[in-house]
Amino acid sequence: MSNWTEIGNLNDIPRLGSRIVTTKEGDIAIFRTANDTVFALHDQCPHKQGALSQGIVHGSHVTCPLHSWVISLEDGEAQGHDTGCTKTFNVKLDGERIFLAV
């Protein structure tokens, strides 16, 4: 069973931006979209481990900073003809408070 941990407030993350949560298993990138939906992905691109938290967020996707793969925030899948998948984490909002399942 997952275990919800409070990680911060919605306003701690800029719109169309991302912040990281560091854990023993590695960094987790928390994204905030234009309409304030929050997503969490392992902060590693399936291509060559680019830090997705440093990418450009658009719609419900992020473009990796290293070689511009586009990764879905919803399921971590690479888009277009690229193949690869990044692990997703459950994350939820309670009002403005963000909880991450780790």
Partner 1 sequence: MANTLVVIGNGMAGMRTVEELLKIAPKKYNITVFGAEPYGNYNRIMLSPVLTGEKTIEQIMINDRPWYEENNIILHAGANKEVVNIDRRKKTVTAMDGTSVNYDRLLFATGSNPFIIPFPGHDLHGVIAFRDIADVDTMIEVAKTKRHAIVIGGGLLGLEAANGLMKQGMDVTVIHDLQVLMNRQLDPPSAKMLEVSLEERGLSFKMAAKIKAILGDESGNVTSISFEEGEDLPADLIVMAVGVRPNIALAKKVGLQCNRGIFVNDTMQTYDPRIYAVGECVEHRGDTFGLVAPLFEQAKVCANHLAEYGIANYRSSAVATKLKVTGVNLFSAGDFTSNENSEDIIFQDPKRGVYKKVVIEDDNIKGAVLYGDTIDGSWYFQMMKDGTNISEIRDRLLYGQAHLGDSGTQGANAVSNLPDNAEICGCNGVCKSDIVNAIASKSLFTLDDVRDATKASASCGSCTGLVEQLIADALGSDFNETETRKSICRCTDYSHDEIRTAISTNALMSFQAVSQHFSFSSPDGCHVCRPAINYYLLAHWPGVYEDDSRSRFINERTHANIQKDNTYSVVPRMWGGLTTPAELRAIADAAEKYNVPTVKVTGGQRIDLLGVKKEDLPNIWKDLNDAGMVSGHAYGKSLRTVKTCVGSTHCRFGTQDSMGMGIEIEKMTWGSWTPAKVKIAVSGCPRNCAEATIKDFGVVAVDSGWELYVGGNGGMKVRVSDFLTKVSTEAEVIEYAGAFMQMYREQGHHNERSAPWIERVGLNYIKEELIENDEKRKGFHSRFLESQKYAQDDPWAERASKGVDVIDFIPLKVIN
Contact residues for partner 1 (CB under 8 A)? 5, 7-8, 12-17, 19-24, 27, 30, 33-34, 48-51, 54-59, 61, 63, 65-68, 70, 80-82, 102
98 near 11, Cβ under 8 Å? no
Chain residues 27-56 in contact with ligand FES, contact rule CB under 6 A: 45, 47-50
- Per the document, the length of the chain is 102
> 22 is in the binding site of which of ligand FES, partner 1, none (Cβ under 5 to 8 A by kind)?
partner 1
Give phi and psi for 11, each to the nearest 5: -75, -5
User: Measured between alpha carbons, how far is 15 from 13 in angstroms, rounded to an integer?
Assistant: 6
Under the rule (CB under 6 A), what is the footprint of ligand FES?
45, 47-50, 64, 66-69
